[in-house]
Amino acid sequence: MRGGVRLLGTAARPIATGVRRLSATPGLTIIGWHRVDGPQTDGLSTGVDDFRRHLDALDDWGATVLPLDDAVAALGAGTLPDRAVALTFDDGYASVVETAWPILRDRGLPATMFVVSGYLTGDLRFAWDEHEPRHDRHRLVRSDELRAVADDGFDIGSHTVSHPWLPCLDRDAVKHELVDSRVTLEDLLGRAVRSLAYPTGGWTPAVRTVAAEAGYRVAITVDRGLNTTRTPHLSLRRAFVPTDTEDLRLLLDGAYTMLRPLDTWRRRRGPTW
């Protein structure tokens, strides 16, 4: 994370922690990753040792890690424990199943992976990976692997059919992306799929309405900040985990909530891929 942003977060930390202490009810922090692979963190990839350090930082912070659905239900009921956190992964990279999930399982930590239902064949790559030489890190989970890991306790949510920028689609196309992905995953896994992560965090109130009509109860953005009892469950706030554990501690303390206007501006601009 850039030094200037870190300085802003450090300055804002006392305010954020003070607000948290004064709050009548605890809030929910949702954090996320994409890939967990290799010796170092680079772009969407989080190094395995860095990932372990992130989990250590959660433990040191005193986080109570909850399954996403349970956490959101408790948020709505006002019964969250203090320092509640939910863990998520976007896109469905194979390294999450092969590397991250065993680490989480050994620590007894629940998590949710949001997968793109049209990319479960094992031979496809995302557009943003195409500019790099072909590498195993780009490999996506196959449908049989997804079924096996779901049976092992890894929670699975939808990340649409094809990972489009939803705000630019018409209503029927958004409905297709949300409904068809949910139905495909439910048929594959033999269980209800009621959580969604908007691709690249792209959402609008109209998209959120379609998500509700499509049967989702939980939907995740990439707008940073603490989720409170006032946060709509179909536009929950989330931040991806920075490399440095000190930055993660600032994130957990709520110091980067002030950057939400920047997140809103980026969401309006759309993706760069």
Residue 267 placed within a domain: no
pLDDT at 243 over 90: no
Find the CATH number of the domain harbouring 16.
3.20.20.370
Domain for residue 273, yes or no?
no
Whether residue 270 lies inside any domain: the answer is no
Give, in degrees to the nearest 5, the angle at Cα 245 between 241 and 248: 45
Q: What is the DSSP string of 114-175?
A: EE-GGG-SSS---GGGTTSPP-GGG-B--HHHHHHHHHTT-EEEE--SS---GGGS-HHHHH
Query: Residue 52: left if φ>0, alpha if ψ -120 to 50, beta else—which one?
Result: alpha
CA distances from 211 to 44, 89, 107, 177, 273 (A): 26, 19, 33, 10, 24
Mean pLDDT of the chain: 89
Q: Is the dihedral of CA 64, 201, 129, 183 positive or negative?
A: positive
pLDDT at 10 over 80: no
Domain count, the chain: 1
**Whether the predicted pLDDT of 2 surpasses 80:** no
Q: Is residue 74 part of a domain?
A: yes
Tell me the mean pLDDT in the region 99-119.
98
3-state secondary structure (DSSP) of residue 194: coil
> Does the pLDDT value for residue 266 go beyond 90?
no
pLDDT bin (cut points 50, 70, 90) of residue 263 is: low
Would 265 be classed as within a structural domain?
A: no
Tell me the C-alpha distance between 29 and 56, whole Å: 16
Is 123 among the domain residues? yes
Domain holding 229, by residue range, is 3-260
For 30-54, write each residue's pLDDT tens digit.
999 999 998 888 889 999 999 999 9
Specify the DSSP class assigned to residue 232: -
The count of other CB atoms within 10 Å of the CB of residue 160 is: 25
Residue 73 falls within a domain, yes or no? yes
Checking if the pLDDT of 267 tops 80, the result is no
Task: Let me know if residue 18 belongs to a domain.
Answer: yes
Taking residues 253-260, report their average pLDDT: 69
Reading the block at residue 209, the tokens are 């309405």
In this prediction, residue 16 carries a pLDDT of 47
Query: Residue 193's closest CA among 214, 167, 169?
Result: 214
Could you tell me which residues come within 8 angstroms of residue 204 by beta carbon, excluding any fewer than 6 positions away? 166, 167
pLDDT digits 0-9 by tens, 128-141: 999 888 889 999 99
